[in-house]
Structure 1
Amino acid sequence: MPEFLPGNSVTLLNSGQEYFPALLQAIDQAHREIFLESYIFADDCIGQAVAAALARAARRQVAVRVLVDGFGARDFPETFGPLLQAAGVQYLIYRQEVARFRLRRHRLRRLHRKLVVIDGRVAFVGGINIVDDNNAPAALRPRYDYSVRVEGPLLVPIRQAVRRMWENVAWASFKRRYRLPDHDPCPGCPESSGEQRAAFLLRDNIRHRNAIANAYLEAIHGARESVCIANAYFLPGFRFRHALRAAVQRGIRVTILLQGQTDHPLLQYATQALYGALLEEGIRIFEYRKSFLHAKVAVVDGHWATVGSSNIDPFSLLLAKESNVVVDDPGFARELSQSLEAAMAEGATELTAGDLERLPLHSRLLRWLSYGLVRLFVGAAGYGPRHWRGEQH
């Protein structure tokens, strides 16, 4: 079960228009240390602005450590490495790709977290990469996503997580034991900053293999009124689908907001193969077609809410390193719920069984072929049907 800590202040940030001004301000106010993790660190106006802010901080003698994924940010050493190193920023690459990408389990284990921790007093957790919302094909602009700004006792486990990840990647890179100096185990002393109960969740292959999936399942099993999920890549296993079906059977309103515009057609087609069964079970499905939905959030019963990096698909729930914040607070849940309702009203279309029946046969076959290919990829990575069903081992 998630370990909820009281006394936090968690602020919802809608897409890059709210996230990046808050992030840049926090970086410019840093005094001691900055940890930044991102799957993508793009060479665009946003990436350049964040890199410049990190360089300024390093020149102020702030200890700045940047960790990016070796596939999602594979050009980072060439685009930003020289600038940041010259300023005194330390950076590491998680599983750097030096050869042709092959479908092997360790190659699919990516650093998908988007975390920033500054002075042990403020953190950012969510799904937003270091990339301009409009850095996308015209039909996908702007990205629609969420992050949260966190202050309070929850900073302790978040900071521990980024420090541990840095030390582990440094050890793997230098092939020797590595520990960061830390004379103050909790710089900034994150005392109570608000009234919100919140938990920090990780997904990795050691102690937290099922933490995020189990938190979702626990919330769905305990739902009494409503479940609303917005997720970019949604391909749940048996246990997750069974939990949603059981919730509907108990009279719970279950709504899912998914991508209508996508950058990964294979995954979208695979998800659409499940639409018929989900609709038949009484689950409402909306596709966001105004732009590119990249969110990974949910609200249950108007008090439980989560924002993070984890999709509900086998790649996030079985392979990638992910992080989510769960907030048990009616005010925060109401704000996120209202934001999702506005997004559905302004840019989404509800699907019906009739919409599926009108699809031509070749289109339906394409969706089931895509579903089979995704299952094949997961199996080739070393995870068979039992893993995808979400069974504990």
Structure 2
Amino acid sequence: MKPEFLPGNRLTLLDSGREYFPALLAAIAAAEREIYLETYIFAADAVGEAVCAALCAAAARGVVVNVTVDGFGARNFPVDFQPRFAAAGVRALIYRPELGRFRLKRHRLRRLHRKLALIDGCIAFVGGINIVADDNAPPDMRPRYDYAVMVQGPVLADIHRAMRRMWEIVTWVNLRRRFRFTAVDHPRCAVAGTQAAAFLVGDNLRHRNSILNTYIEAIHGARREILIANAYFLPGLRFGRALYAAARRGVQVTVLLQGKTDHPLLRFATQALYGAALNAGIRIFEYEKSFMHAKVAVIDDDWATVGSSNIDPFSLLLAKEANIVVRDMRFAGELRAHLEAAIAAGARAMCPVDIQRQSWPRRLLRWASYGLVRLLVGIAGYGDRHWRAEDQVSQEPPPR
């Protein structure tokens, strides 16, 4: 299903937590009726404490506050925040809570990875930023580099519908009953600007391929430039073929990836694909200035996306994700300028000769990581019958 672009929105790009959290806290402080918040991580740091305090204060003045966190990403939540939320009247739920150390691993791969907030049905935040401080990382990886978008306008109706639906589902699973909905049933979605936007969700049921298909359609239509920044990048067959075809027809394809990572396995698996991509004319940069967590892209002059979805099998096949897709020259130009500045200030270009000079042990490590990622996806229940449609692309032969 193609995305439905709705006109009349006002979209504000937010660069990392330094811009995102002041805007989020201000919106929470101004809330009058209802707040929804979904996050993968809710950290017990300065940012987590500030957001917790703001949500509790909103509940104290009569705002209906609904918080949903992931049971694995926010496994500290039941101890650090849930008792305080309960005492303050904040309604908090956990998606797939951890049930002990020996819970089946396959369930840990199916996560609520969305990062969303909706206040009074009239302002929303969509992106890749968790409730965690930018400096909550090892010293050599600070500050975290990421993006979100503040949204106003008609597309809010779709965001409200998706967040309310998620709340209903998790409520039923956790408590076997439904909370009464007494706040915003029909959000105010009046025209707020001139930008066209579509809200996309990805999950492992009805909308498994929504984000993937939208990316591929935009790549097929690219005529001049494709610029992707993605923290965990392990594209499947259709995505890879689309990028290769774009490069062959003269489109400049640039991919910005992590140079410093919290998941070495995925990084090594991704590096197994570097040789083929570079030989196809795709430019690859690794961001080494700090920890890059962004999941964004710009295509040509007027297409852009910001969201939570990585381009890897865990996001595209297993997790619940959310992206905003924008058709607007000003927004696309602003995001492009941010990414080009990041590349200039903190990224290193990958070269074919660098790949060729790598030792055989290094190549073996890359391919072993690639194979292990594939195995993990199979364990999660998305083996050959699902992976075949999104198998990995690489023309580089495995080491012998």
What's the offset of the Cα at 1:184?
Answer: 4.9
| RMSD after superposition | 1.4
1:288 correspondence with 2:280: no
Give the match for residue 31 of structure 2.
Answer: 30
Q: C-alpha deviations, 1:106-127, integer Å up to 9, x for none?
A: 3311000000000000000000
Give the match for residue 202 of structure 1.
Answer: 201
Query: Percent sequence identity over matched residues?
Result: 65
Q: Secondary structure at the match of 1:66?
A: strand
Give the match for residue 382 of structure 1.
Answer: 381
Give the match for residue 79 of structure 1.
Answer: 80
In 1, Cα distance between equivalents of 2:182 and 2:84: 26
In 2, Cα distance between equivalents of 1:309 and 1:152: 21
Give the match for residue 321 of structure 1.
Answer: 320
Q: C-alpha deviations, 1:332-385, integer Å up to 9, x for none?
A: 000000000000000001110011122121111111111111111111112124
1:163·1:180 contact (CA, 8 Å) conserved in 2? no
Q: Which moved more, 1:361-370 or 1:29-38?
A: 361-370
- After TM superposition, list the pairs within 5 Å mapping 1:38-53 onto structure 2: 38-53=39-54
2:134·2:142 contact (CA, 8 Å) conserved in 1? yes
Structure 1 residues 182 and 305, CA, compared in 2 at 3 Å: closer, same or farther?
A: same
Q: Which moved more, 1:117-126 or 1:359-368?
A: 359-368
Q: C-alpha deviations, 1:26-74, integer Å up to 9, x for none?
A: 0000000000000000000000000000011011100001100000001
- After TM superposition, list the pairs within 5 Å mapping 1:302-381 onto structure 2: 302-381=301-380
Q: C-alpha deviations, 1:79-128, integer Å up to 9, x for none?
A: 01122211111100000001125554433110000000000000000000
Q: Which amino acid aligns with 1:296?
A: K
Give the match for residue 145 of structure 1.
Answer: 146
In 2, Cα distance between equivalents of 1:16 and 1:92: 24
Q: Secondary structure at the match of 2:291?
A: strand
Q: Which amino acid aligns with 1:317?
A: L
What's the offset of the Cα at 1:387?
Answer: 2.2
In 2, Cα distance between equivalents of 1:358 and 1:386: 36
In 1, Cα distance between equivalents of 2:69 and 2:384: 31
Give the match for residue 54 of structure 1.
Answer: 55
In 1, Cα distance between equivalents of 2:83 and 2:105: 31
Structure 1 residues 383 and 40, CA, compared in 2 at 3 Å: closer, same or farther?
A: same
Give the match for residue 21 of structure 2.
Answer: 20
1:234·1:312 contact (CA, 8 Å) conserved in 2? yes
Structure 1 residues 184 and 315, CA, compared in 2 at 3 Å: closer, same or farther?
A: closer
- Give the paired residue count: 390
Structure 1 residues 325 and 266, CA, compared in 2 at 3 Å: closer, same or farther?
A: same
In 2, Cα distance between equivalents of 1:227 and 1:180: 45
What's the offset of the Cα at 1:237?
Answer: 0.6
1:103·1:381 contact (CA, 8 Å) conserved in 2? no
1:238·1:388 contact (CA, 8 Å) conserved in 2? no
In 2, Cα distance between equivalents of 1:388 and 1:297: 24
In 2, Cα distance between equivalents of 1:185 and 1:172: 22
In 1, Cα distance between equivalents of 2:368 and 2:144: 28
What's the offset of the Cα at 1:389?
Answer: 4.6
Give the match for residue 174 of structure 2.
Answer: 173
2:237·2:390 contact (CA, 8 Å) conserved in 1? no
2:34·2:183 contact (CA, 8 Å) conserved in 1? no
Structure 1 residues 266 and 391, CA, compared in 2 at 3 Å: closer, same or farther?
A: closer
Q: Which amino acid aligns with 1:110?
A: R
In 1, Cα distance between equivalents of 2:234 and 2:131: 25
In 1, Cα distance between equivalents of 2:340 and 2:75: 36
What's the offset of the Cα at 1:183?
Answer: 6.5
In 2, Cα distance between equivalents of 1:50 and 1:14: 18
Structure 1 residues 320 and 101, CA, compared in 2 at 3 Å: closer, same or farther?
A: farther
TM-score by length of 2: 0.95
TM-score by length of 1: 0.97
- After TM superposition, list the pairs within 5 Å mapping 1:81-96 onto structure 2: 81-96=82-97
Structure 1 residues 391 and 241, CA, compared in 2 at 3 Å: closer, same or farther?
A: closer
In 2, Cα distance between equivalents of 1:288 and 1:184: 42
In 1, Cα distance between equivalents of 2:62 and 2:379: 47
What's the offset of the Cα at 1:201?
Answer: 0.2
Q: Secondary structure at the match of 2:290?
A: strand
Q: C-alpha deviations, 1:261-318, integer Å up to 9, x for none?
A: 0000000000001000110111000000000000000000121000000000000000
What's the offset of the Cα at 1:390?
Answer: 3.7
Q: Secondary structure at the match of 2:281?
A: coil
Give the match for residue 235 of structure 2.
Answer: 236
1:225 correspondence with 2:224: yes
What's the offset of the Cα at 1:388?
Answer: 3.0
Give the match for residue 129 of structure 2.
Answer: 128
1:227·1:254 contact (CA, 8 Å) conserved in 2? yes
In 1, Cα distance between equivalents of 2:82 and 2:100: 20
Q: Which moved more, 1:290-299 or 1:78-87?
A: 78-87
In 2, Cα distance between equivalents of 1:78 and 1:303: 45
What's the offset of the Cα at 1:151?
Answer: 0.2
In 1, Cα distance between equivalents of 2:25 and 2:275: 44
Q: Which amino acid aligns with 1:379?
A: G
Give the match for residue 185 of structure 1.
Answer: 185
Q: Secondary structure at the match of 2:259?
A: strand
1:113·1:323 contact (CA, 8 Å) conserved in 2? yes
Unaligned runs of 5+ in 2: 392-400
In 1, Cα distance between equivalents of 2:94 and 2:139: 30
Q: Which amino acid aligns with 2:306?
A: V
